[in-house]
Amino acid sequence: MWVADPGFRTDAKIVDAFNYAVSKGCTHYFPAAGFDAHVLHRAISGHYLDEYGVKIDPMDEVCPTHGAQEALSLSIQVCARPGDEMVVPEPTYSALIEKLGAFDLRPVFVPLLEGEHWRLDVDAIKSALTEKTRMIYLCDPNNPTGTVCSRAELDALSELLEENKGVSLLLDECYARILYDGSSHYTMLSERALLDQVYVVSSFSKTYAMTGWRLGYVVTGKRNADRIKRLSEEYNGGVSYAVQYAGAAAVKSCSESVRAMVEELDARRRVMMEALAQINDVTFETPKAGFEVFPDFSAYSRDSVSLASALEKEAGVRTMAGARYGPSGEGHIRLVFCAEGRSRIREGISRVSRFIGAQAD
Ligand SMILES: Cc1ncc(COP(=O)(O)O)c(C=O)c1O
């Protein structure tokens, strides 16, 4: 229950599209004759129009990347310099925090309000800005808390960006289509005026169970997009065309498999919450999106790294220590419900429960 890699097969339509492109000669630097070089760019732009009613220019504003990982790195590289500050509402995606170390940026952590369903504290973000702030990173929906920002929270953040033109927003929307309990996801892309200040990052890994395909993208204003494309070209010559072709098939023809996957994930989420609710003194917020529950184990241990390590060694359950997600994650454990089926989840949580119970005795 540790890594957010969905244990579902990639839809056969996506695999078939990849095989088709390869069989028709898309194994070169350029796509074979008759193939649209920007098929993925157009599909992504179409997705934003259908889903959010937002017009995104497929040629100028969409940059396919090697997973969201590369999308995040390139956006940071285009926007910030070593020594700059990034404001990071947390708990948040652990790899982003690690990335800041790699790029020599200083994280300025702003706690999400745990007592208010991990709400975004825009006033605290405002107070955290300095002349060195180059970016704000927002993971929405949030990994690991499973919360989704409200329209009002995003409006307040838009206002903050309008007032601070030198600050950009790195908006990670990898879980935007994995929503539960009728939750809605809003995107700041609807504010076209802010497009030059916002880097929207997303991934095919989660929505389409394509972690190993390494496909993601950035949507941003043309000037930033040109620089991202240039860097991507210099690093790796761009994303394999057959993978882009498969990604376009995912966006255009796989809404049914996404719906079925989310339905099964929802069932797993409920099983996990039901099992966790049986453990005394462990509290958690109901995740409204994503693959994770982030329970508070601080009644048993304030040291989440030691607790995660003991759970692995003693109970045979691999989890992630909450401290990896920022200072406010301490005392929590991140549990993933996307990788294993319902009975394994029940078994896993009952082992956690037995281990915790034995410690308390
Ligand atoms: C919030 C978030 N952003 C980005 C990523 C990276 O996604 P990708 O597999 O596309 O690199 C992950 C993967 O766990 C994630 O949870």
Do 243 and 301 lie in one domain? The reply is no
> What separation in Å is there between the alpha carbon of 68 and the centre of ligand 1?
5
The residue-averaged pLDDT of 169-191 equals 94
> What separation in Å is there between the alpha carbon of 99 and the centre of ligand 1?
12
From the CB of residue 289, how many other CB atoms can be counted at a distance below 10 Å? 24
pLDDT reading at 360 higher than 80: no
Look at ligand 1, atom 7, and give the residue with the nearest C-alpha.
68
CA 321: distance to chain centroid? 18
> What separation in Å is there between the alpha carbon of 170 and the centre of ligand 1?
13
| Torsion angle, alpha carbons of 38, 41, 44, 49, to 10 | -90
Do 92 and 207 lie in one domain? The reply is yes
Q: Which residues have any ligand 1 atom within 6 Å of their CB?
A: 4, 67-69, 93, 139, 143, 172, 174, 203, 205, 211, 216
The residue-averaged pLDDT of 113-141 equals 97
The sheet that has 292-293: what strands, in order across it?
292-293, 333-336, 320-321
Do 243 and 136 lie in one domain? The reply is yes
**Residue that terminates a domain, selected from 254, 270, 293:** 254
CA distances from 276 to 34, 169, 282, 284, 357 (A): 54, 35, 7, 8, 13
pTM for this entry: 0.97
pLDDT reading at 361 higher than 80: no
Please report, for the domain that includes residue 183, its CATH number: 3.40.640.10
7 within some domain: no
> What is the domain extent for residue 59?
12-254
Look at ligand 1, atom 4, and give the residue with the nearest C-alpha.
68
The residue-averaged pLDDT of 8-22 equals 98
Q: Read off the pLDDT of residues 295-327 as tens digits, 9 standing for 90 and up.
A: 999 999 999 999 999 999 999 999 999 999 999
> What separation in Å is there between the alpha carbon of 356 and the centre of ligand 1?
30
Do 219 and 294 lie in one domain? The reply is no
133-163 as b/e: b if 16+ CB within 10 A: bbbbbbbbbbbbbbbbbeeebbebbbebbee
The model's confidence at residue 359, banded by pLDDT at 50, 70 and 90, is confident
310 within some domain: yes
2 within some domain: no
The model's confidence at residue 193, banded by pLDDT at 50, 70 and 90, is confident
The residues near 111 (Cβ < 8 Å, ≥ 6 apart) are: 89, 90, 121, 124, 326, 327, 328
236 within some domain: yes
Cα distance between residue 287 and residue 285, in whole Å = 6
5 within some domain: no
